[in-house]
Amino acid sequence: MWSNVARVCRVALTVGFVFAFAVPLGAQTQAPLSDVPSLTSNRPGIGDSEALVPARAFQLEAGAQFQEAPPASDLRSTQTWGQLTLRYGMTRRIEVFGGWDGLSLDRVLFDGASQVVAGGNDLRFGTKLALLTEEAHGLTVTIAPAWSFPVGSEEFTSGSQDPSFRVLWARSLPRDWSISGNFLWVRTSDPIGRYWDNSVTLVVTRSLTENLSVFVEGSNVAGDPARQPDD
């Protein structure tokens, strides 16, 4: 029952933070810190970044996420702690990654009373493949096939091995603006059965300084309209 409640609604607001570092791997000597490229994280936000980790470098990202649901939903809010993603650049155009969404705490309304449901999330592994670059093609395009494994607790796992395919793109605009987005296809499960859980994400970003940017992000989720829950 709780797994159904946790999936009932899409969140209206997401606020996150991220810590990241990169460690270049040299054959004989370590590169100077000044030679490490600028870090580009997959967090915060709904969509992932089209940028890859530099070749022969590890990048570890960690953070937390706080979500508020629409007032009409039984799911009131979600807190997720201990999100981790480890990324490694195999070559300039290939990255591999693994991640865990940590421990989630859902505050739900059940029989008129507010209750907290806690549990761990599933693991995912995948790769990013750079197809196009803005310098050569006018648009950056990356694809990211991935696979999720059902190791989470009953309240938060999908209960199945879930393949996904993500197309990530970005384009620079004048006056320090940029636009980017994701197309995501996920084959997952719930108590009714297997279904496609797809989404489109659009992000508009404005660079304020060399080290500070602001962004607005929107996401539209398109499920299977033919699916009907059990009575």
Dihedral-angle region of residue 146 (phi above 0 means left; psi in -120 to 50 means alpha; beta otherwise):
beta
Judge whether 177 lies within some domain: yes
> Which of 27, 141, 151 minimizes the C-alpha distance to 101?
151
Judge whether 228 lies within some domain: no
Q: Is residue 145 within 8 Å of 127, Cβ to Cβ?
A: yes
Tokens 């999908």, residue located: 158
Tokens 């490490």, residue located: 36
Judge whether 229 lies within some domain: no
Radius of gyration of the chain (CA): 19
Judge whether 51 lies within some domain: yes
Judge whether 230 lies within some domain: no
Instruction: Write phi, then psi, for 160 (nearest 5 degrees).
Output: -150, 165
Q: Indicate whether this model's pTM tops 0.95.
A: no
For the chain, what is the domain count?
1
> Which of 131, 173, 168 minimizes the C-alpha distance to 47?
168
Judge whether 45 lies within some domain: yes
Rounded Cα–Cα distance for residues 82 and 103 (Å): 6
Tokens 């997401």, residue located: 14
- Dihedral angle, C-alpha 31, 36, 42, 48, nearest 10 °: -100
Dihedral-angle region of residue 35 (phi above 0 means left; psi in -120 to 50 means alpha; beta otherwise):
alpha
Please give the residue range of the domain that contains residue 134: 2-222
Q: Which residue stretches of the chain are H helix? A: 2-6, 134-137
Residue positions counted in the chain: 231
Per-residue pLDDT of the chain (231 residues), as tens digits, is 333 333 333 443 444 455 556 666 654 455 555 565 667 788 767 789 999 999 999 999 988 888 877 776 777 788 888 889 999 999 999 999 999 989 999 888 877 778 888 999 999 999 999 999 999 999 999 999 999 999 999 889 999 999 999 999 999 999 999 999 999 999 998 888 899 999 999 999 999 987 788 888 888 887 665 555 543
Residue 173 burial (CB count, 10 A): 11
Give the E-state strand segments of 25-135 in sequence order. 57-68, 75-89, 94-100, 103-110, 113-120, 123-132
